[in-house]
Amino acid sequence: MSFQLTILGTGSATPVLTRNPTAHYLHIEQDGYLIDCGEGTQNQLLRYKLRPTRLKYIFITHLHGDHYFGLIGLISTLNMHRRTEDLWVFGPKGLAEIITIQLKYSDAWLNFKVHFIETETEKSYQLFENESVTVTTIPLIHRVPCCGFLIKEKKGKRKLRKEVLPNDLSIEEIKDLKDGLDILDKKGAIKYSNATLTKPEIEPKSYAFCSDTLFHEPIIDIVKGVDLLYHEATFLEDLTPRATQTCHSTAAQAAEIAKRANVKKLVIGHYSSRYKDLDPFLFEAQKIFTNTVLSIEGLSLEI
């Protein structure tokens, strides 16, 4: 299964010319999943040649503007492109009202239906599933209700070894092989062994997105062992009191979560506008968790 992340925005609330507000785009199978939608997100989609027409699901972590101010513009543009396919938008209480009232007073009539699903931010639960993935919420501690999202591939079927596959198999027998079954003859004996004709499915991949939050230990159990963890790192360690005051995290704290959760890879972002040089973020995090990378706009990571 194709499971690729493209980072569209790496900055925090105060705008800077070199960094856009938060937005991550996931391409899973043929569908687009957008997590957060700061100002300028639709421009970033164009810049990095990501097709908005594939966008099907949008997840908003919380109602601070740098995480959703781009949503009404994106919806309006999709409408001008004559979209007719439904769009699912997940976010905290108030998001549906905000978007609906903006559409109302701009006299905008959509050609497609927007399904708003309200998130509960104080507990972890399965928010959504389709045939490809499940999405679970990650409660976070911020100044307003906020949750992150854990996106996991569903377990796939076994893969056929085409080079040894007999020619006389029926469609039903091929389906059984993919489901892990042996092919039996009329007497119930094994005619073709599943282990001989198939190979194990690829281990399902996982991605966790932890938006604005204090250092919060309960995150660890939820994201344990994920392939890729994004965790905000607004400040460096010398400004830990400022991070605590504003309900944000440092690069060191993000790395500590990654280390204790035994994740495979950490990507940090949401840098405060006070920082011009980002190398100290990487240095600080890698002292604790070696496999850390910086969020860079346009960076694509195959999960």
How many whole angstroms separate alpha carbon 232 and alpha carbon 210?
A: 6
Helix axes 71-80, 95-105, angle to 10 degrees: 50
Sheet order of strands, 23-28 included: 114-118, 87-91, 55-59, 31-35, 23-28, 3-9, 300-302
Q: Take residue 207 and report the two structure tokens written for it.
A: 């991605």
What are the phi and psi torsion angles at 45 (to 5°)? Answer: -60, -40
How many Å apart are CA 63 and CA 72, to the nearest integer? 13
Q: Which of 155, 184, 180 is nearest to 170 (CA)?
A: 184
Catalytic residue from among 66, 86, 176, 182: 66
Residue 24 Cα distances to 45, 57, 172, angstroms = 10, 12, 40
Question: Could you say which DSSP state residue 164 is in?
Answer: G
**In whole angstroms, what is the distance from residue 207 CA to residue 263 CA?**
10
Q: Is 66 a catalytic residue?
A: yes
**Whole-number Cα distances in Å, 76 to 8, 51, 87, 175:** 19, 15, 12, 43
Dmax (CA) of the chain = 75
According to DSSP, residue 54 is labeled: G
Enclosing H/E stretch for 83: none
Which residues are known to be catalytic? 66
